[in-house]
Amino acid sequence: MTNNKRKNWVIGNWKLNPYFQPAEQLFEAVAQAYHSQAALHQCEIAVAVPSIYLAHFAKTKQLSIAAQDVSVVSGLGAYTGEVSAELLSQAGVELVLVGHSERRELFADDVEKLQQKIKNTLQAGLSLVYCVGESLAQREAGQAEQIVLQQVQDLIAVMAEDAWSQVLIAYEPIWAIGTGKTASPQDAQQMHASIRHYLQQHSFEAAAVPLLYGGSVKPENALELAACADINGALVGGASLDATSFISIVQAFAQ
């Protein structure tokens, strides 16, 4: 199903990069390029920056800012080291990534924690960028779709029906992240269509969420991905650390 009126989204995921001064330069360059080309505004953009930069960049009000993680606890309290969704919201953050494979694999974000993070994000009024994706072993075993749809089901299980407008889903096959290997546009489209179909069976509102592709998206492959019916944007890691590359990906999705 395609909804032609839906705006595409391109979100840069800076991960733990870069140091403060080059981060300032990168942010300025992206903001300047985006705001000086009206044609790019057909595409919504955001940058997911390291947590220590969030309030600083949000205060400039130049670009939408995404957090890369959120606490499982909400509000305030005796939780050393935590940052709650409410604090993110007060700092001017608009979106939160939840379920990125690096968090699932390296930081033990299991389904229970992810579901708590989803609930906290949505209850604080923030938008959720929920990431799903299979490993290479799972793909080779023919389990890719089953794994991804189970991850989508983990989201559905905690969704309030009226909160779907706050949700974006990013399909990021783990074997394509940071490896230079991209899923072929056909493979990506096929998985996106399966996710869309699964959401459609749940509700009309669920089926309308933007579906972003992530995994080695570059200026060279962005146009082909953007042409796929069920790909409504990109979650960009490595290529978002270069303003020119990032903006040319935005351009591809603004057409």
Kindly list the residues in this chain that would bind ligand PGA in the complex (CB under 6 A): 13, 172, 177-178, 214-217, 235-239
What is the DSSP secondary structure assignment for residue 77, as one 8-state letter? Answer: S
How far is it, in rounded angstroms, from Cα 9 to Cα 177?
18
Q: Is residue 100 flagged as an active site residue?
A: yes
- Position of minimal CB gap to ligand PGA: 237
Shortest separation between residue 168's beta carbon and ligand PGA, angstroms = 13
At a CB cut-off of 8 Å and minimum separation 6, what does 229 contact? Answer: 2, 189, 193
What are the residues facing 95 on neighbouring strands? 66, 127
**CB-based contact 195:171 (threshold 8 Å):** yes
Q: Cα angle vertex 233, ends 229, 237, to 5°?
A: 140
Shortest separation between residue 95's beta carbon and ligand PGA, angstroms = 13
What are the residues facing 132 on neighbouring strands? 171
Both tokens of 145, joined, read: 């779709």
Closest to ligand PGA by CB, 86 vs 172, is 172
Helix (H) or strand (E) holding 127: strand 127-132
- Give the 3-state secondary structure of residue 46: strand
Q: Side-chain half-sphere of 126: how many Cα atoms within 13 Å?
A: 32
Closest to ligand PGA by CB, 106 vs 108, is 106
Shortest separation between residue 177's beta carbon and ligand PGA, angstroms = 4
Q: Which of 100, 102, 134, 192 is catalytic?
A: 100
- Give the 3-state secondary structure of residue 97: strand
Closest to ligand PGA by CB, 87 vs 183, is 183
Helix (H) or strand (E) holding 168: strand 167-171
Shortest separation between residue 172's beta carbon and ligand PGA, angstroms = 6
Residue 98: φ, ψ to 5°: -135, 135
Shortest separation between residue 5's beta carbon and ligand PGA, angstroms = 26
Q: Is residue 172 flagged as an active site residue?
A: yes
Closest to ligand PGA by CB, 22 vs 125, is 22
In this structure, the strands spanning 43-48 and 64-67 are parallel
Closest to ligand PGA by CB, 94 vs 242, is 242
Catalytic residues: 100, 172
